[in-house]
Structure 1
Amino acid sequence: MSEQPPPSPTPPAPHTPPLSFASPASRDRFEALVAEADAVSVDGWDFSWLDGRATEQRPSWGYARAMADRLAGARAALDIQTGGGEVLAAAPVLPPLTVATESWPPNIARATARLHPLGAVVVADADEPPLPFGDTAFDLVVSRHPVTTWWEEIARVLAPGGTYFSQQVGPASVFELVEYFLGPQPPEVRRARDPEDARAAAEAAGLDVVGLRAERLRTEFFDIGAVVYFLRKVIWMVPGFTVEQYRPQLAALHRRIEEDGPFIAHTARFLIEARKPL
């Protein structure tokens, strides 16, 4: 389960619901769940803490498997914004030259520990152009859920005939949760990260888009602790989120989950594959 930032959500709605619980037992469950989720570490990009507490439907195309197939046939590969290196490390075969970039210090340390034993090099990079590599350095560039895609830089570091293969977050992803806390978002925020915009940007950079697929996928939060953990970890969904600031909204959502069942949201994903002409 993972997310990347929607652009500039609007500030929280001014309405603050009062704290209200169905019973003292419900209140005690709320306090325990929130305290647990507020204390656990959110370093790295591993969402296993949510196992049994939240679910996210996976895209039908199987990104990790498809990426691994492409890695097996590559000579030199770059994984941009690798996180903790979790997806790259799962590939059965890595190219003779495999490099990953990451900007967040805790993830750099995790990716280094995970990928170095596999022969991959981790480069600390600010996720801003230029990429710290020479022209035509790689025949494969991959990225899962990049914050920003610098298409001109990808085109530059790809060798002629090389491929960019990426799963990305689409428009209005998990916005049921975003809008629960922040209120309705304007149309320009809801449509940001549209797959067709990615196609246009890739083509403007001189790449040929050979594949583009998009899906909306069901996500469920089974308890309020899962919501707290998710918003602490994915900090751009509700900017500045803290338990204390949003305690009344959290309490109301806790009661809603207890009475009506899991909170349902929908993630947006798209898969794009682009090639550099020979």
Structure 2
Amino acid sequence: MNLEKLKENWKREEQYSFKGWDFFHIEKRWEHEQIPWDYKDILLRYIKSSDKLLDMGTGGGEFLLTLNHPYKFTSVTEAYPPNVEMCKNKLSPLGIEVRQVFDDSDIPYETNSFDIVINRHEAFSVDEISRILKSGGYFITQQVGGKNNNDLSEKLIDGFKPLFPKHDLKNNIKLLLKNGFKIILSDETFPKIKFYDIGALVYFSKVIKWEFPDFSVDSCFKNLCKLKKELKEKGYISGTSHRFIIVARSQK
């Protein structure tokens, strides 16, 4: 396949629309090594049916609905406008409260509103979590760490510098302890990620803008072509993810 045809195909992937937090478009074209804990299982250890629950950065609400928490006690935040609209169409009719967030340091809910705040891969302000949680309430978060996919970003983007190099388990525990939380559970891992075609990597890189800043097929075309050699030799493009989980209890 000539270079112009390659670029055309990759740009098609780059322009493919993305909604919710669903990577169905590249299903079976990529693989992520499992992490050693089950986020949902951990949540269910702490969530009681009577709890007022907030899911931060719910995406399209796909994961939240699998928890089967009483809708009348469930609230969500979401920042990405297309997802906010999706939530209003899908979650609001169920009785789930949906509010758009514009700033991590300003969650649009009252002080002491929630028994439990859950957060999977969403930015947060420890001060705001402390404010909206009731005393004795739980904050449970699984985070994408600051080293996530850095090796892939370096392969694609010349002069790449990570945006959040200090976003790791150790530093977040320090922040939570400083703000009066007790750490109940914590863990950190660096699973492998693989892409089985360049187009899948292009799609992924365009979606995860904060990890691949200024990525485009045009600006990174030379490096994308270099990765074709790795793909041919290994059968996949490899990278390293970064995840950590914290269960913390408010002691204010």
Quick check: TM above 0.5? yes
What does residue 31 of structure 2 align with?
A: 55
What does residue 17 of structure 1 align with?
A: none
Q: Distance in 1 between matches of 2:111 and 2:158?
A: 45
2:196 pairs with one of 217, 222, 226: 222
Q: Is the 8 A contact 1:215 1:268 kept in 2?
A: yes
Q: What is the identity, as a one-letter code, of the residue corresponding to 1:76?
A: K
Identity between Structure 1 and Structure 2 (%): 27
What does residue 143 of structure 2 align with?
A: 168
Q: What is the identity, as a one-letter code, of the residue corresponding to 2:156?
A: F
Q: Distance in 2 between matches of 1:189 and 1:103?
A: 19
2:58 pairs with one of 73, 76, 82: 82
What does residue 182 of structure 2 align with?
A: 208
Q: What is the identity, as a one-letter code, of the residue corresponding to 1:58?
A: Q
What does residue 75 of structure 2 align with?
A: 99
TM-score by length of 1: 0.82
Q: What is the identity, as a one-letter code, of the residue corresponding to 2:117?
A: V
Q: Residue by residue, what CA displacement relative to the aligned partner does 1:125-183 show, whole Å, maximum 9, x if unpaired? A: 11332322222111000100112x21111111111111000100123111111111235
The number of residues matched between the two structures is 252
Q: CA 1:120 to 1:58, structure 2 compared with 1: closer, same or farther past 3 Å?
A: farther
Cα drift, residue 102 of structure 1: 1.0
Any unmatched runs of 5+ in structure 2? none
Cα drift, residue 70 of structure 1: 3.4
What does residue 227 of structure 2 align with?
A: 253
Q: Distance in 2 between matches of 1:155 and 1:74?
A: 20
Q: CA 1:265 to 1:185, structure 2 compared with 1: closer, same or farther past 3 Å?
A: same
Question: Does the alignment pair 1:112 with 2:55?
Answer: no
Q: Distance in 1 between matches of 2:11 and 2:148?
A: 27
Q: What is the identity, as a one-letter code, of the residue corresponding to 2:230?
A: R
1:272 pairs with one of 241, 246, 251: 246
Q: Is the 8 A contact 2:209 2:215 kept in 1?
A: yes
State the structure with bigger RCO (CA 8 A, min sep 6), 1 or 2.
1
2:210 pairs with one of 223, 236, 242: 236
What does residue 172 of structure 2 align with?
A: 198
Any unmatched runs of 5+ in structure 1? 1-24
Question: Does the alignment pair 1:157 with 2:132?
Answer: yes
Q: CA 1:110 to 1:150, structure 2 compared with 1: closer, same or farther past 3 Å?
A: same
Q: CA 1:30 to 1:260, structure 2 compared with 1: closer, same or farther past 3 Å?
A: farther
TM-score by length of 2: 0.90
Cα drift, residue 32 of structure 1: 5.9
Q: Is the 8 A contact 1:155 1:276 kept in 2?
A: yes
Alpha-carbon RMSD = 2.2
Q: Distance in 2 between matches of 1:93 and 1:198?
A: 28
Q: What is the identity, as a one-letter code, of the residue corresponding to 2:31?
A: T
Q: Is the 8 A contact 1:81 1:101 kept in 2?
A: yes
Q: What is the identity, as a one-letter code, of the residue corresponding to 1:134?
A: E
Q: Is the 8 A contact 2:10 2:198 kept in 1?
A: yes
Q: What is the identity, as a one-letter code, of the residue corresponding to 2:207?
A: K
